[in-house]
């Protein structure tokens, strides 16, 4: 088994996450995972008021024209690609995602045909396979997908979850190769080595002759910007996976790149807030304003981050957490100097991800997780 990768950050196809994918140098020991949640990068333009609406809007690009160049140009050794079968559809979901999940992801054969669009990048792409049992009732869907994709891709990944693990593993262990990956996705589960049900899964994972990645969502899904206490540690964020993944049979760990797992819902009200990672203490701090104006990112949040104890700790640490290679920190500094506008929630999502990824890469390079 290879020692690579140590970290698998997951990106869920939003615009700012694409920007991070394009700008970040993942190096040799970080393999990003892209969850593709829409067919196109942009919707066709809406017709002007009164104009005749075309019967079938022409898309701006084809699926492969969007994602093949993106993955080809990523600075990463390998890239996991997932069309997330586990992502449930909801009425308040963004329309393009809802349509993609229903028409492409919801059908196993269609999903596989879309995965095969990446076969020209087979040396870089690792397709992610998950069960369809909970979605369509198909009993052997993991094996069928693996058989269809194995001829095109030398390495496969199998993503499984606590509620389906014991059923999934019967198929997975019969088709695994040493080069393959199992991504054990604990979702929001509090990791507890003394828990009997978790222990059974851990012990089974130990018997597998492949690479194992342990995933957990560090940021709870119910957390909102409104609930943040300005400048205070966010106790509800549990990032202990960094210390626990080996105890859970993992060679590497995974999360949503330092941010909350995006539920792909339609937009809500403006609520300026920012989650800032302290790499020294492995904690997250919250910054927010009660004034519902985007300008508060520039006038309240950025100055508080700049002057924070977390920033001081990272600036004075032996490791280069806030150096010039940290793209997120560079954006914060430019906003502070009024060299770049900062009134955008999306931009601060990118800042948080860039900063967190840089800190993870710095710690990996330092051998913290070896």
SS (H, E, C) 299-363: HHHHHHHHCCHHHHHHHHCCCCCCCCCCHHHHHHHHHHCCCCCCCCHHHHHHHHHHHHHHHHHHH
* Angstrom distance (rounded) from CA 67 to CA 12: 13
**What pLDDT score was predicted for residue 138?**
94
**What pLDDT score was predicted for residue 56?**
47
33-35/79-82 β-pairing: parallel
Q: How many CB atoms lie within 10 A of CB 205?
A: 19
**What pLDDT score was predicted for residue 46?**
54
* Angstrom distance (rounded) from CA 192 to CA 212: 18
* Element (DSSP H or E) covering residue 118: none
Q: Of the candidates 309, 287, 158, which has an alpha carbon nearest to the alpha carbon of residue 226?
A: 287
> Where are the chain's structural domains?
7-265, 268-370
**What pLDDT score was predicted for residue 112?**
98
Q: Of the candidates 254, 274, 258, 248, which has an alpha carbon nearest to the alpha carbon of residue 346?
A: 274
* Angstrom distance (rounded) from CA 300 to CA 296: 5
**What pLDDT score was predicted for residue 47?**
54
Q: Of the candidates 220, 232, 207, which has an alpha carbon nearest to the alpha carbon of residue 308?
A: 232
CA angle 309, 311, 312 (to 5 degrees): 60
Q: How far is CA 324 from CA 16, 21, 242, 327, in A?
A: 20, 18, 25, 7
Q: What is the DSSP letter of 260?
A: P
**What pLDDT score was predicted for residue 198?**
98
Q: Is 10 helix (H, G, I), strand (E, B) or coil?
A: strand
* Element (DSSP H or E) covering residue 81: strand 79-82
Q: Is 231 helix (H, G, I), strand (E, B) or coil?
A: coil
Per-10-residue mean pLDDT, the chain, length 370: 82 91 97 94 55 54 92 97 93 90 96 98 98 94 98 97 97 97 97 97 97 97 93 97 97 96 80 96 97 96 98 98 98 97 95 98 96
**Rg (the chain; Cα; Å):** 21
* Angstrom distance (rounded) from CA 339 to CA 332: 10
Question: Mean pLDDT in the chain?
Answer: 93
Alpha-carbon torsion (262, 266, 270, 271), positive or negative: negative
pTM tops 0.85: yes
**What pLDDT score was predicted for residue 270?**
80
The domain made up of 7-265 has a fold known as TIM Barrel (3.20.20)
């Amino acid at each position: 088994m290879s020692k690579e990768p140590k970290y698998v950050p997951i990106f869920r196809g939003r615009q700012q996450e694409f920007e991070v994918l394009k700008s970040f140098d993942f190096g040799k020991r970080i393999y990003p995972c892209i969850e593709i949640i829409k067919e196109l990068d942009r919707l066709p333009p809406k017709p002007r008021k009164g104009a005749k609406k075309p019967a079938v809007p022409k898309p701006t690009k084809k699926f492969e024209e969007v994602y093949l160049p993106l993955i080809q140009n990523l600075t990463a050794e390998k890239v996991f690609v997932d069309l997330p079968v586990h992502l449930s559809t909801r009425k308040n979901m963004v329309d393009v995602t809802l349509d993609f999940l229903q028409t492409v992801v919801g059908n196993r054969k269609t999903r596989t045909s879309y995965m095969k669009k990446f076969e020209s990048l087979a040396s870089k792409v690792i397709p992610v396979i998950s069960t369809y049992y909970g979605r369509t009732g198909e009993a052997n869907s993991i094996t069928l997908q693996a058989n269809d994709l194995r001829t095109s891709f030398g390495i496969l990944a199998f993503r499984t979850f606590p509620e389906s693990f014991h059923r999934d593993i019967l198929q997975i262990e019969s088709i695994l190769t040493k080069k393959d990956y199992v991504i054990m996705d604990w979702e929001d589960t509090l990791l507890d080595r003394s828990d009997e049900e978790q222990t059974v899964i851990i012990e089974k994972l130990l018997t597998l002759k492949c690479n194992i990645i342990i995933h957990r969502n560090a940021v709870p899904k119910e957390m909102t910007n409104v609930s943040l206490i300005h400048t205070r540690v966010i106790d509800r964020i549990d990032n202990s996976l960094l210390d626990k993944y080996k105890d859970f049979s993992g060679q590497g760990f995974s999360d949503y790149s330092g941010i909350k797992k995006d539920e792909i819902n339609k937009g809500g009200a403006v609520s300026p807030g920012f989650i800032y990672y302290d790499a020294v203490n492995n904690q997250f701090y919250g910054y927010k304003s009660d004034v519902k104006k985007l300008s508060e990112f520039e006038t309240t949040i950025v100055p508080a981050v700049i002057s924070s104890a977390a920033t001081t700790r990272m600036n004075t640490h032996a490791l280069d957490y806030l150096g010039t290679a940290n793209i997120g920190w560079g954006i914060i500094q430019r906003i502070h100097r009024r060299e770049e506008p900062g009134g955008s929630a999306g931009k601060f999502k990118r800042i948080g991800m860039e900063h967190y990824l840089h800190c993870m890469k710095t710690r990996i390079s330092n051998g913290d997780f070896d």
